[in-house]
Structure 1
C-alpha cells in the first residue's frame, strides 16, 4: 500500500467525490480524517472506510473558518499522531446569473471554497514546517475555474483563485519539501445528474455498467472513482517531483492544464494609444481572441435523451 503510515485529511468527504477520495486514500493505507458539515454523513463515511478494513475518524465542521481548520489538523494529530496529506474538497453551489446573484450567494461560495482552502492549507502547512514533514497539498479546482461557466460567477472566481493559490504555494513550500497541486475533476455528481447532456452516462453508471466511450474518452467524463486514483498518486512519495500543477482527470482522460501564457505579442513604437489600437487591434490581435466556456462535441444520436412528452 503506497500510503501506509500516512495520515490524510479530506474536507467535504461525507459523500460524493470527497468520499471517493477518502476511501481510496484509506485503501492505499492512509489513516483518514473525514470531514463534512453533517455529522450523520461523517459517521456513515467513516463506517464505510472502517468496514472495508481501512482506518478513519471524523471531524464534523463547516470549512471556512480558521477554527475549523485548526480542529481538522488537531483531529488528525489526536487520532493518528501526525498529518501528511491535505485534500481540500469541501464546497457548495449557489448558481445564479450575475444580476440574480445576491451578496450572500457570492460570499458563501467564496467562503467555503476559497477561504476554506486557504485556512486549511495554512494550518496544515504550519504543521508540516514545524514537524519537518514533506507533506502533500491537493486542492480541488474545476473546469469552470479554468474556462468559466454561465451562472457561476462565485464558483468560477473561487476555483480560479484556488489554482492561483496553488501556484503560489508551490513556490513558497518547495524549500520545505511540501508539494501543492490542483486537481480538475470531471465526474458524475449530484449536479451533473440533473443535466440532460450527461443522462446516458449517469444512467449507465447507475445500472452498474461502463459509461459509453463518448463520455469517457471524448468528454473525459467518468465516475468519482476515476478521479480518486490521481488523488492517491499525488499524495504519495512517488509524486514528490510534481508541484504547482493543475491536472485534469475524468473517465479515461488525464490532462495537464497550461498556466496562462501570452498567445501573441506585438510591439508598437511609442506605445499603444487609442488610435493605434482602433486601427491595428483587429488585424494584429483579433484572430487570437480566446474562447470562453466549455465546448462540448455534439452528442451521438444514440446517446441523446428522449424528448419530453
Structure 2
C-alpha cells in the first residue's frame, strides 16, 4: 500500500500495538504524529521512524481531553500540512471484578478509551471535512468489547462503545468520504497478558523464548504486534475507500469480519407478551439457542 502524501495521527503509539501501527504507516510512506504519555517513548518512536527513512513528529499528552485531541490535529497540520488518517489506539487497564471496581477504575478507563476516541475522532473529522478530500478513522476495539471478559467491566464497555461509534460515524461521515472502521486486534502485548484465556500461553512463550504455536496463531488468531499492521495499513489506503462501518478482527494468521448485533430469533403474540407467555414460549422458542459470551480460552490440539 502506497501512503505517500498522507498524514496520520496514532494515539498511544509510544510502544506496543500503537508503535507497530505508526512504524507500518511510516514504512508505507505516510508522515506520522506519534503520541504517548511517556516522553521517552515518544522520542524513541519518532527517532526510530526518522532513522528508518520516515517522517514523524511527537506529542506527549494524555488522551481524553478536547485539548489533547485538538493538539494532535494541530500538530499534524503544522508539521505536515494536513490530516488524512486517525488511529485511536491509546488505552489503559484497571481490571477488577464488578464488586471490587472503584469509580476511579471505571472512569479512568472510559476516559482514555471511550472519551479519548470521541474527542480525537471529532477533532479529526472537523479537519478532514474542512479539507474536503475524505479521510480514514480507524478505531481500535477489542474482543472484550465484542464478547465481554471477566474482570473488565470498564474496558469491555468502552470497547463496545467504540464499535457502536464506528457504525454511527460511518453514517454521519459518508457524504464527506470519511470512512470509519473498528479494528479488533489480538496480539501478544502487556494488555493481552492480563486476559486469563491467553495469559498462560503468553507467559510460557516469554519464559522459553519459543514462538507462539501455529494452532494459537490460527485458532485464536493470536500473534505478534506486527501481524496486525497489514489490516491497519490497508484501511488507511485508497484501496479501502469503499469499506466503512465495519468491525474487522485480525491477529496471528486470522482475518475476520465481526457481525453487528441484530435480532437472532423473533416471535409474535397477538396483544403482546405477558410474563407467563414469555415463560411458556422461551425454552423452545426465542430462547432455544441462547448466545454465548466471554472470550473462549484457547486450547492446544488434543488437550
TM-score range with shorter-chain normalisation?
A: over 0.9
1:286 alignment partner, SS class: coil
**What SS is found at the alignment partner of 1:287?**
coil
1:192-220 alpha-carbon deviations (Å, 9 max, x no partner)? 3461133345557xx4x643211111111
Structure 1 segment 119-158 matched on structure 2, within 5 A: 119-158=119-158
- Contact 1:7/1:31 (8 A) holds in 2: yes
Matches within 5 A, 1:71-110: 71-110=71-110
State the aligned residue count.
299
Shift of 1:86: 0.2
- Correspondent of 1:196 among 194, 197, 200: 200
- Measured after TM superposition, the shift of residue 54 of structure 1 is 0.9
| In structure 2, C-alpha distance between the alignment counterparts of 1:127 and 1:249, rounded to whole Å | 29
Which digits, 9 at most, give the CA deviation of each residue in 1:117-156, with x for residues without a partner?
Answer: 0000000000011111211000000000000001000001
How far off is 1:285 after superposition?
Answer: 2.5
CA displacement at 1:56 relative to structure 2: 0.5
Q: CA deviation at 1:270?
A: 1.2
Is the 8 Å Cα contact of residues 184 and 248 (structure 1) preserved in structure 2? yes
2:172 maps to what in 1?
172
Corresponding residue number in structure 1 for 2:269: 268
Say whether the 8 Å CA contact 1:197–1:299 is kept in structure 2: no
CA distance in 2 between counterparts of 1:298 and 1:129 reads: 47
- The alignment yields a C-alpha RMSD, in angstroms, of 1.5
Instruction: Tell me the TM-score normalized by structure 2.
Output: 0.95
**Corresponding residue number in structure 2 for 1:10:** 10
SS of structure 2 residue aligned to 1:271 = coil
Q: SS where residue 228 of structure 1 aligns?
A: helix
Equivalent residue for 2:216? 215
Distance across 1 between alignment mates of 2:39 and 2:202: 31
1:252 aligned to 2:253? yes
Could you say which residue in structure 2 is the equivalent of 1:279?
Answer: 280
Q: Quick one: structure 1 residues 151 and 181, their matched pair in 2 at CA, closer, same or farther if it must change by over 3 Å?
A: same
Any conservation in 1 of the 2:216–2:300 contact (CA below 8 Å)?
no
Q: Report matched runs for 1:177-188 at 5 Å.
A: 177-188=177-188
Q: Is the contact made by 1:193 and 1:202 (CA closer than 8 Å) also made in structure 2? A: no
Larger CA deviation: 173-182 vs 188-197: 188-197
- How far apart are the structure 1 equivalents of 2:72 and 2:184? 23
Q: Using the alignment, how far apart are the partners of 1:283 and 1:193 within structure 2?
A: 40
Gap regions ≥5 residues in structure 2: none
Shift of 1:269: 1.2
**What SS class does the counterpart of residue 288 from structure 2 fall into?**
helix
| SS of equivalent to 1:56 | strand
Q: Which residue is equivalent to 1:238?
A: 239
Query: Residues 216 and 298 of structure 2 are in contact (CA less than 8 Å); yes or no, is this contact kept in structure 1?
Result: no
Deviation at 1:277, TM superposition (A): 1.1
Query: Match of 1:307?
Result: none
Give the match for residue 228 of structure 1. Answer: 229
Taking structure 1 as the reference length, the TM-score comes to 0.93
Aligned position for 1:53:
53
Quote the Cα distance in structure 2 between the aligned partners of 1:58 and 1:210. Answer: 32
Distance in 1 between residues matched to 2:206 and 2:30, nearest whole Å:
30
- 2-structure distance, mates of 1:49, 1:240: 26
